[in-house]
């Protein structure tokens, strides 16, 4: 199964949060791990705030998704399913862009609200 990973998962892993080993195992078992290019900036920023250096292994093997057009339709679809803050909305809209049939993609996040909206759209948890 292909997985789209949100920043919260890699931040949780970088910070050694409970359950992070299970998340890493899920990522390693994926056929392909996709992420928005915004993830790198958010991860770097969160680690810098905590005085940590980003472990480059966290970013290895990610297939980066950088849409070359506005995601107006995808953002509308996300916001119809529920309100999210800007970055969370962007990650989910990027996943919608990547997978027009959301059931074909796992959306992996530690953010409960974002996970709820992803489920309403039809992504696998």
CATH number of 2-121: 3.40.50.1010
Q: Write out the chain's pLDDT in tens, 125 residues.
A: 999 999 999 999 999 988 888 888 999 999 999 999 999 999 999 999 999 999 999 999 999 999 999 999 999 999 999 999 999 999 999 999 999 899 999 999 999 999 999 999 999 98
Q: For position 23, what pLDDT does the model report?
A: 87
Domain boundaries, the chain: 2-121
What DSSP line would sit under 67-89, residue for residue? -SS--HHHHHHHHHH----HHHH
Give the per-residue pLDDT at 118.
98
Burial class (CB in 10 A: 0-12, 13-18, 19+), 18: exposed
């Amino acid at each position: 199964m292909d997985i789209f990973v949100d920043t919260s998962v890699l931040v949780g892993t970088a910070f050694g949060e409970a359950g992070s080993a299970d998340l890493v195992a899920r990522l390693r078992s994926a056929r392909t791990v996709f992420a928005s290019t915004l993830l790198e900036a958010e991860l770097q920023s969160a680690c810098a705030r905590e005085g940590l250096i980003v472990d480059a292994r966290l970013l290895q093997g990610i297939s980066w998704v950088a849409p070359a057009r506005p995601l107006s339709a995808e953002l509308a679809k996300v916001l119809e399913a529920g309100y999210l803050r800007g970055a969370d909305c962007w990650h989910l809209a990027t996943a919608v862009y990547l997978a027009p049939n959301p059931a074909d993609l796992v959306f992996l996040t530690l953010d409960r609200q974002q996970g709820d909206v992803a489920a309403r759209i039809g992504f696998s948890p």
